Amino acid sequence: MAQNCDICGAEVGFLNKFRCQDGVICKKCYEIVSNHFATTITQMTLGELKRNYVKNVQPLDMGEGGFQATRKIGSFLLLDEKTQKVCILNNQKLTGRNTRPVIFPYSALKSFQLISQPQFSVEQLSALAADKTADTTIQGLSIRLYLTGNRTEEITIIPSSVRVSSFAFRRGLQIAKEILGCLADI
Ligand SMILES: [Zn+2]
């Protein structure tokens, strides 16, 4: 059965799972809490590990000029229009994953795409949302950002399956459109 890291929420498996007294963590978090593998954690509690994590983790790289949000879309995205940077927020409530915010300059963004399961265009999704008789279910909605250096980032908007006739879907689609509009301005 798949397990998740009790610190960051990443999936852990046979090769990257490390046990402490009352939980499991991934290799990345293990490296951070153990000060680059300098200590073992089997006798430590998750509470202790989390305190170590906060103590040891590198501060976020804000880039030159820092980061001062001038535009915000829900708990998903911040822009610093002055220093021209994007911040993707950690939306833990939604994704259940405790990932850290990601900051990058406008210039790193190459393209972006709305991802749905099954894949529909924004227009098709809007038509579905407007159709009271539509009986389609979407397995999640997100926006994928393609960055320089072959990096991708994903903004999860709807993490699980929803009917297109639901309020949750209409609201999620509205937020997705706002984010797409915001990214298009960059
Ligand atoms: Zn982890």
Provide Rg for the chain, Cα atoms: 19
CA of 43 to the centre of ligand 1 (A): 18
Domain-wise residue ranges, the chain? 3-56, 71-184
With contact defined as beta carbons under 8 Å apart, do 106 and 86 qualify?
Answer: yes
Name the phi and psi angles at 111, rounded to 5. -160, 175
CA of 145 to the centre of ligand 1 (A): 22
CA of 79 to the centre of ligand 1 (A): 27
Q: Give the pLDDT confidence of 4-27 residue by residue, as tens digits.
A: 999 988 889 888 899 999 999 999
Q: What is the mean pLDDT of residues 151-165?
A: 94
Q: Give the pLDDT confidence of 58-116 residue by residue, as tens digits.
A: 888 888 889 999 999 998 999 999 999 999 998 777 777 777 889 999 999 999 999 99
pLDDT-derived band at 151 (thresholds 50, 70, 90) equals: very high
Q: What is the mean pLDDT of residues 165-183?
A: 96
Cβ neighbours around 138 below 10 Å, total: 23
With contact defined as beta carbons under 8 Å apart, do 6 and 24 qualify?
Answer: yes
CA of 37 to the centre of ligand 1 (A): 14
Distance CA 110, CA 122 (A): 19
Q: Name residues whose C-beta falls within 8 Å of residue 24's C-beta, 6 or more positions apart in sequence.
A: 3, 5, 6, 12, 17, 18
pLDDT-derived band at 1 (thresholds 50, 70, 90) equals: low
CA of 25 to the centre of ligand 1 (A): 5
**Global pTM value:** 0.78
State the average pLDDT for the chain: 92
pLDDT-derived band at 172 (thresholds 50, 70, 90) equals: very high
CA of 11 to the centre of ligand 1 (A): 8
Task: Tell me what pLDDT residue 43 has.
Answer: 96
Nearest to 112 by CA among 140, 142, 155, 143: 143
Strands 137-147 and 17-20 come out as unpaired
CA of 12 to the centre of ligand 1 (A): 8
